[in-house]
Structure 1
């Protein structure tokens, strides 16, 4: 038995959708599949733009918020590089926050806010919500923007409200490691209406094309700097059938998640298993466990690999990355460091079988 960490979902309906494109003859952006995907996602946000990646959606956030050199962006160090890259490239300074030991989400960040703080990025790790209502209240108190990095959490909820609907802006990922995917892809949810008009301009390469199409101007022109954030019709055609059954896909993954949890809770301390606050309804994106120390983690990873199980660790803290050349060496994030050294992610994907889960649990 050989069990991969991830097996991207392949629905036959996705390939049928792609085959239809040959008849239609539309392969670039903004075709019928794109529009149908947007319609489905509009259940979660009043304005949705599909992008070529989650990082591209964050690059749009940078432009929408007019991020400039020396602006400060508070974010967890325990996150993907893509969370920070767009802001750092724009000259902003990342202000690293520690995380909650149980949820692995950003916590205790209000003390980091200064007059230079432009936004908070709240990452919903493993598809389990941050204390997002509390975070939103703090952002409103200090008049700063809230961005939800919901790359892992499409279809998760906080107090029965969907993740991605709390922030001024929110980003999603449709990378092949996610619950639903199109190889690469992302989405930007624009919940704050002050950004709606500008987002259309940015999406149209920095032009006012949408005003032209509405006959509001006699010709469209280049009005601001932007880029190409488009996702192809091939990708949205592949994504569409999955979006239509998102709840089913997430429910299957949650069954796998709970099978892991129920079995492992009999073998290891509850504090070393994922924590689910009562306010959170998750999407079964990721199952992890914590070891006592790095040595124990490495030994367990080695044991699992020898059993042909592709388990993996997770993020190296961004504040300690070589790119900074020790700039943040005095930044102390003890929980982030501890979690990074002790976390193990177990295989979890739609087609995972119960006997495979049982085999994995047996090795732990």
Structure 2
């Protein structure tokens, strides 16, 4: 009998406590201290983002994007239905009309044909979600956006250290939003980052993030006093979060290598027999890299998915389903006037996520794979 395997276990490399203690000893716990600046520098140098700002969550980064693009009533924002609520909510709270797009048939990313059918002269933003850290078809999406004078915002919550044709995700749209929630590849408990890829938004982004004040410019010595100059909110994380994140960034190569080895073992152990049973495993398009954020299966129907989850839990394995399509949510039900989003609904009903975290052992991965095979054979 193997010990229980949770769905997720937050990773610590040992340096986090040292850096947090150092931040405390520096007597600087609020945002934009030494560790925040170090994190900004790493993201900008490693991934070539024009400018980065840490936030308290990916949700906050998306809300900043909505403010910076002056979203308001009358604007339409195209969003995949198969995503976390923050992807849509960040724009809905600004008064935008949310227009839900379907997923692709071969992976949960947004379908480009669905986008084409939904663009109108009121569309202001296309929000893409790089599901499982795997890039959407950004060339096609950029063609649609450019031909309709529409902005692209990348919800890259799951996509740190992942690429599209060699280009880092989060650097293609006007903004990218990342998450460092404890379930992500690199973490700080709760945290996020806004990547800003157009110099025209640099100054205002700092103001929006600092409650609508030009406080950042004041602390740099650019102005002799600061005040309220725009709308905004308190989007800065504390130095304690930034210190934890900095330790993770120092170990990102090791973290990614281990996660990828776990992902590959899952795929090698599962894909052959899964195909024979009609179970779909992840597909990595030729244009995308795999950052090993997630390993998932798509079962044949909801009853099979729920049966597998239940049976795995009896063995102490914490498998879970994922997003429930937002167009069918209690909040949005009755407001969706668009087409049937059959692929999105299929993933909501059938997608199953397996445990994947740095501290997993290969023995645990093999145990999960073998257990899955046994469980699914009982359903044939």
What aligned pairs does 1:1-364 form with structure 2 within 5 A after superposition? 1-42=3-44, 43-44=46-47, 45-107=49-111, 108=113, 109-213=115-219, 217-269=223-275, 272-328=280-336, 331-364=339-372
State the shift of 1:346 in Å.
0.2
Distance 2:204 2:23 in 1: 31
| Higher mean C-alpha displacement, 200-209 vs 60-69 | 200-209
Structure-1 separation of matches of 2:26 and 2:92: 41
Q: Is the 8 A contact 1:320 1:329 kept in 2?
A: no
C-alpha separation in 2, matches of 1:288 and 1:167: 27
What is the deviation of 1:178?
0.3
What TM-score results when the alignment is normalised by the length of structure 1?
0.97
In the TM superposition, residue 200 of structure 1 has moved relative to its aligned partner by: 1.6
CA shift for structure 1 position 32: 0.7
Could you report, residue by residue, the CA deviation over 1:282-315 in whole angstroms, capped at 9, with x for unpaired residues? 1100000011111111111111111110000011
Per-residue deviation, 1:217? 4.3
Q: Distance in 2 between matches of 1:362 and 1:118?
A: 48
Structure 1 stretch 131-140 or stretch 212-221: which is displaced more? 212-221
Structure-2 separation of matches of 1:347 and 1:285: 10
Which structure 1 residue ranges, 5 or more long, are not aligned? none
3-state SS of 2:233 partner: coil
Q: CA RMSD in A?
A: 1.4
> What does residue 376 of structure 2 align with?
none
Q: 1:275 to 1:40 in 2, by over 3 A?
A: same
Q: Which whole-Å CA distance do the structure 2 matches of 1:300 and 1:336 have between them?
A: 20
The total of aligned residue pairs comes to 364
C-alpha separation in 2, matches of 1:359 and 1:213: 54
Distance between the aligned counterparts of 2:221 and 2:347, measured in 1? 55
Q: Distance in 1 between matches of 2:368 and 2:73?
A: 48
* CA drift at 1:213: 4.7
Aligned-residue offset at 1:21? 2.1
How far has the Cα of 1:329 moved from its partner?
6.5
* Separation (CA, whole Å) in 2 of partners of 1:248 and 1:162: 19
Q: Report the CA distance shift for 1:215/1:296 in structure 2 as closer, same or farther (over 3 A).
A: closer
Partner Cα distance (1:81, 1:277) in 2? 26
- Which digits, 9 at most, give the CA deviation of each residue in 1:70-109, with x for residues without a partner? 2100010000011111111111111110011222101121
Query: SS state of the match for residue 170, structure 1?
Result: strand
Contact 2:19 2:243 in 1 (8 A): yes
Secondary structure of 1:269's counterpart equals: helix
Task: Give me the TM-score of the superposition, normalised by structure 2.
Answer: 0.93
**Displacement after TM superposition at 1:202 (Å):** 1.0
- Structure 2 segments unaligned to the other structure (5+ residues): 373-380
Render the CA deviation track for 1:43-76: whole Å, top value 9, x for unaligned.
Answer: 3201000001100111101110000012100010
SS state at 1:220 partner: coil
SS of the counterpart of 1:350? Answer: coil
CA distance in 1, matches of 2:217, 2:306: 57
Q: Secondary structure at the match of 1:280?
A: coil
